Amino acid sequence: MTDYELTASDILALLRPYVEAREQRDAYAGQVERLASLIKGYLDAHTGEEMYDGEAGIIAKLQERHASPTYEPASMPPELIDRLHKAGALGVSPALLRALEGQEIADLVKPYARPGSVTRALTVVVARPLTREWTVVGARPPWV
C-alpha cells in the first residue's frame, strides 16, 4: 500500500495522532514566540551583536529583511499608467476597496467583482475528549 491508497479505516486511525500533534504544535508555538521575543528584544537593544553558544553550535543574530518596493501610481505619468493598464499590471484588491469604503469610487468598482478562487481546507474538530474509541469505520457519531 502506498501513501495514496489509504482506506477510510487508515484515515480514522490518523485522526487522533493528528489532533495530538496539532495540540503539541500549538503549545510549542506559544513557547517559541515567547523565547523569540526575549532573544529578539535583547538583540534589538544591542545592535550588531551576535550570540554564539559554542557548546551547542547555535548562533543568534538579527537579519534585515527588506519588503518588496512599493510604487506610487499617482506620481506616474498618464502614459505609463495607460501602458500598465494595457499590460494587465493594474488591479483592484479587496484591501484597496476596504480602504476606499464610503467613497464613490468604491461603489463604482463593486459591480465588476468576480468570485475568487475556491480552496478546500482540512478541518478537524474534537467533538468529545480523545478517550472515546470508535468501533465502526465511517460511522457518524450521534452528537454530530
| Assigned domain for 122 exists | no
Model pLDDT, residue 45: 95
Distance, in Å, from the CA atom of 81 to the CA atom of 87, rounded to the nearest integer, reads 10
| Assigned domain for 48 exists | yes
| Assigned domain for 131 exists | no
Of these ranges, 1-5, 32-36, 93-97, 113-117, the one predicted with the greatest mean pLDDT is 32-36
Grid cell, residue 51, equals: 550570540
| Assigned domain for 45 exists | yes
Q: Which residues pair with 52 in a beta bridge?
A: 59
Q: What is the value of pTM for the model shown?
A: 0.52
Grid cell, residue 60, equals: 543568534
- Give one DSSP letter per residue of 53-82, joined into a string: ETTTTEEE-----PPPP---GGGS-HHHHH
| Assigned domain for 100 exists | yes
| Assigned domain for 129 exists | no
Q: Verify that 55 and 81 share a domain, yes or no.
A: no
Mean pLDDT of all residues belonging to the chain: 84
| Assigned domain for 87 exists | yes
- Tell whether the model's pLDDT for residue 42 goes beyond 50: yes
CA end-to-end distance (rounded Å), the chain: 31
Give pLDDT tens digits for 75-95.
999 999 999 988 988 888 888
Whether 41 and 34 have beta carbons less than 8 Å apart is answered as no
Model pLDDT, residue 129: 65
Q: Verify that 41 and 18 share a domain, yes or no.
A: yes
Q: Verify that 53 and 78 share a domain, yes or no.
A: no
| List of long-range contacts for 3-9, beta carbons under 8 Å, 24+ apart | 8/137, 8/138, 9/137
Whether 73 and 81 have beta carbons less than 8 Å apart is answered as yes
Over range 25-43, report the average pLDDT: 94
Structural domain count of the chain = 2
Grid cell, residue 136, equals: 465502526
Q: Which domain holds residue 95?
A: 74-111
